[in-house]
Amino acid sequence: MSSALQIGELFGKYAKTGYISEDGFILAVISLVGHPPIQDFLLQLGFQDKDGLTYREFSDAMKELLRTVNNEPPSPEDLASALQTVFPKSTLTLSEFVSAFQHNATMLGLDDVTEELLVGLYQYAGGLDTISLAQFTDFIHLHAGRY
């Protein structure tokens, strides 16, 4: 899939009322590159001074990230820390869980992790509505240690 198409899909998934918030942007970055953006990059985008990024600003920022991305897989601690920043409410919905883990499964070499498996594990670990960050972090630790 082309990066332009991925960027468009991510904006559609995380944007609200034509703008993407800082939390939505962080989730989109995790989905695309496997780890959150650095704090300096977020400050440079100026989320503190506006409602969010327009599609054009979002697209430009994502393209910049793709040019400078570090392809090192994130550690489970890095991912848990990023998710705790993004989800201060301490629980994830099914779609948040699947999108946050899917790219990282590939980065961690977990080629057997499918969307169906994630949905099943999510439901097993967290019930039908939400999963706690503690459960999510434990899940990542278990699976990152398998290989």
Instruction: Domains for the chain: give ranges and CATH numbers.
Output: 3-68 (1.10.238.10), 76-144 (1.10.238)
The pLDDT score that the predictor gives to residue 120 is 66
Please tell me the distance from the alpha carbon of residue 75 to that of residue 34, in angstroms, as a whole number.
Answer: 10
Token look-up 């704090």 returns 39
The pLDDT score that the predictor gives to residue 58 is 92
Q: Which residues contact 10 (CB under 8 A, 6 or more apart)?
A: 28, 31, 32, 62
Phi–psi pair at 127, nearest 5 degrees: 80, -165
The pLDDT score that the predictor gives to residue 146 is 46
Q: What is the pLDDT along the chain (147 residues), one digit of tens a residue?
A: 567 788 888 888 888 888 898 888 888 888 787 777 887 888 889 888 888 899 999 999 998 888 876 556 556 566 666 666 655 556 666 677 677 666 666 666 666 666 676 666 666 555 555 666 666 666 666 665 543
The pLDDT score that the predictor gives to residue 13 is 85
The pLDDT score that the predictor gives to residue 147 is 33
Q: With contact defined as beta carbons under 8 Å apart, do 63 and 7 qualify?
A: yes
